[in-house]
Structure 1
Amino acid sequence: MTKEPGQSPAGWVRKAGGIGWFIRRFGVAQLFIKPIRTLVAPLVIPLLRERAVAFRGESIPLVYARYNVTWANERCVELALARRFLARAPSERILEVGHVTPHYFGGGHTVVDKYEPGALPVDIVDFESDRRFDLILSISTFEHIAFDEAGGAAEPEAVSAKIRAAVDRCLALLAPGGTFAITVPMGYNPALDEMIAADELGADRATWFKRFPARQWREVGREEGLECRYGSPYAFANGIMLAEWDG
């Protein structure tokens, strides 16, 4: 189980809207619960029973880490999937949208993120490169596009348009034969949820995972995935979608 402490997300929270934004998105209880879990993580993680998620004939270990208390939310399964993708491409041929996996697995690949140090400080829509990438990966980032920007969320139509532009830009940067893969939590961004329900993202494949008791995550069908709510019955995401595009 991964135990990288990573970097504090406080800067990102401040830029997205501060404590008020955090409470609106995640609830006042998490303002206290999450720091406590972070503090006790070195004691808790070694005691947890290891879990795995089944995906395409493989049993992939979930990732438990102190940073972002992954054992208590969807990040554990997202990182398990991310590690699988990262292992299938050389680092110089990988582009990550959102500075996520370097907190857990180290870096070496190109990362774009407007908010976090250690990444290229550019919006993916504006990112230019002469290279084409074999893997473009984004972990729980697309739901924030135009929805968690400084100054407040844009109108739903503007959110959808910006997400569409980000998808199109990633596809333009994808090498022939490559893979563009994103994970997003269901129920977090209403405009994105509507795009997903209407199949407007245009992904070649979509896989749904749902949280069950005792920190278990399992693949479920589309309809069951679409019904997952954010923050209920468990804190944070109760279902995620993995979307993939082929180059």
Structure 2
Amino acid sequence: MGIAGLELFNYFLFDRKPLPYNQLPYGNCSERTIEIPIAIQFLLEAGAGKQEPFLEIGNVLAYYQALLDPHPSLANRHILDKFEEAPGVMNIDLMDYEKKHSLIVCLSTVEHIGQHAYGESKSGDGEIPLTAIRQIYNLLEPGGTALLTVPYGKLMDAGWLIQFSAEYLDLLFDAYGVPRDAASISYFQKQDMDMHLDVPRQAWIQCEKEALAETRFDSPFMFANGIAIIRLQKIGNDIPTATIPLTQTKNLHYTPAAAVTNLYFTPFIRPTGFDKDGRLPAHFPGYIFYGPSISLAPRRYLIQASVEIIGQGEFTIDITSDSCNKLLWSQTLSGSQYVEATLILTQEENNVDIRFYKHNTSECYIKVPSLLLTEEKNHS
């Protein structure tokens, strides 16, 4: 069990078929744990590499070679990655690539295009990932298929990626010309995970897109908490790149990245550590956790925290700045509680910490399934 207390299995269901979670240690605390087995199943069912190379956009599968080795045909691929230098990788911009393919796979890559990540510079255009998907569609031969995965939930500009939403993905069809009939989309939600980074077990379920409407990137678990799996089949002709996007007429609101996204994988100090279920021992007076020592601009902020206290105790949760010399907000707790409050800052505050302090000596444990500090909606 993780912080949500769910039973964690070694498989998940994709279209009612059981697939094993990826257990290779590279990036396995993220959505890679389901993306890799889904991609391998897609490629095998499509007969990838048996007659001609398939195209991988973004050098991802190479890090999971042990899973590819039982399927020699999957080695027959062309790899396109603008920045990553590795044997067999073509360092070509996706938008400059012209060769057609009958089969394309692209795992958690398009959301970074045009953003400040992996060698890219921030373009200022949040819709470049949609342009990239249109280009992938155009690179398919007639009748060809592609599989793409992207983070999905609340529309977010996290700086280094764009998290897709329903409204954003609709632009792919309404403004960028990809036929709706060409796309089949599945959705997954991350519900729990072991609270460690060494090949943690996870719990993902296939869901409807509505279940992800408020899902944030990096909260409560690190990296994507929801993903969309987009399957494209080429119908008709290429889409003219002169298709006029609706950027000027469709005013999308991009939620910024939160200042604090969780307790377990952001730089908090946790003197006693925590176990795989996210329980922190709290047997003596003192700090249970504090951090992450960040700077906050003058704004209205919303703090949301779900605190589970197992046992008896008297606690205070504070927000301080100036290395704990200035108190910005405080609340006492004596039992499990959901906390939601507004923090108003009239000036920039530095070395801001959320501090959780225990006052007595009773034996108990603390879990914090969610902890968010975000700019409050409808305020600048």
What is the DSSP-based 3-state SS (H/G/I as helix, E as strand, rest coil) of the residue aligned with 1:104?
Answer: helix
Which of 193, 210, 223 is the matching residue for 2:189? 210
Structure holding more helix per residue: 1
Say if 2:126 is the partner of 1:159: yes
Normalised by the length of structure 1, the TM-score is 0.70
What is the DSSP-based 3-state SS (H/G/I as helix, E as strand, rest coil) of the residue aligned with 2:210?
Answer: helix
Matches within 5 A, 1:46-125: 51-68=10-27, 70=28, 72-87=29-44, 88-91=46-49, 92-105=52-65, 106=68, 107-116=75-84, 117-118=86-87, 119-125=89-95
Q: Deviations over 1:100-136 (max 9, x none)?
A: 012213533011001222310011111121xx32221
Judging changes above 3 Å, is the alpha-carbon distance between structure 1 residues 223 and 50 closer, same or farther for their aligned structure 2 residues? closer
1:176, CA displacement in angstroms?
2.4
Structure holding more strand per residue: 2
- The aligned residue for residue 288 of structure 2 is none
Say if 2:115 is the partner of 1:180: no
Larger Rg: 2
Gap runs ≥5 in structure 1: 1-48
Flag the structure with more relative contact order, 1 or 2, with Cα contacts below 8 A and sequence separation at least 6: 1
Question: Does structure 1 conserve the Cα–Cα contact (< 8 Å) formed by 2:55 and 2:77?
Answer: yes
Question: Does structure 1 conserve the Cα–Cα contact (< 8 Å) formed by 2:56 and 2:80?
Answer: yes
Gap runs ≥5 in structure 2: 1-7, 69-74, 174-179, 194-201, 235-380
Which of 218, 225, 243 is the matching residue for 1:238? 225
- The aligned residue for residue 223 of structure 1 is 210
Q: Distance in 1 between matches of 2:109 and 2:191?
A: 23
Figure out how many residues of one structure are paired with residues of the other and give that number: 192
Judging changes above 3 Å, is the alpha-carbon distance between structure 1 residues 137 and 196 closer, same or farther for their aligned structure 2 residues? farther
Which of 104, 124, 137 is the matching residue for 1:136? 104
Which of 77, 94, 97 is the matching residue for 1:127? 97
Judging changes above 3 Å, is the alpha-carbon distance between structure 1 residues 188 and 63 closer, same or farther for their aligned structure 2 residues? farther
Normalised by the length of structure 2, the TM-score is 0.47
Q: Distance in 1 between matches of 2:149 and 2:132?
A: 14
Across the aligned residues of Structure 1 and Structure 2, the Cα RMSD in angstroms comes to 2.3
Q: Distance in 2 between matches of 1:141 and 1:128?
A: 18
The code of the aligned residue for 1:89 comes to G
Judging changes above 3 Å, is the alpha-carbon distance between structure 1 residues 80 and 188 closer, same or farther for their aligned structure 2 residues? farther
Judging changes above 3 Å, is the alpha-carbon distance between structure 1 residues 220 and 142 closer, same or farther for their aligned structure 2 residues? same
Q: Distance in 2 between matches of 1:192 and 1:89?
A: 32
Q: Distance in 2 between matches of 1:172 and 1:151?
A: 22
